[in-house]
Structure 1
Amino acid sequence: KSKLNFLLSEPDSSMGSLKPSVWLSISELFTL
């Protein structure tokens, strides 16, 4: 989960093309 948190913390450095909403959806999936 550390990597996921890092990506969520720095979405611009990894994939700025993705929208925040998409990241939220991904985080929810990982949480479940």
Structure 2
Amino acid sequence: MSGTQRTGFKELARKTAYWEYLKQMRIFRRP
């Protein structure tokens, strides 16, 4: 279970980082 939990956390962290990246890009663009 610990392994699965850790993997899920990693996936969540990656998704969060991706969202942050997208947000930053959107702010930079400022159409």
Pick the TM interval, shorter chain.
0.3 to 0.5
TM-score normalized by the length of structure 2:
0.44
Q: Relative CO higher for 1 or 2, CA cutoff 8 Å, sep ≥ 6?
A: 1
Structure that is richer in helix per residue: 2
Greater gyration radius? 2
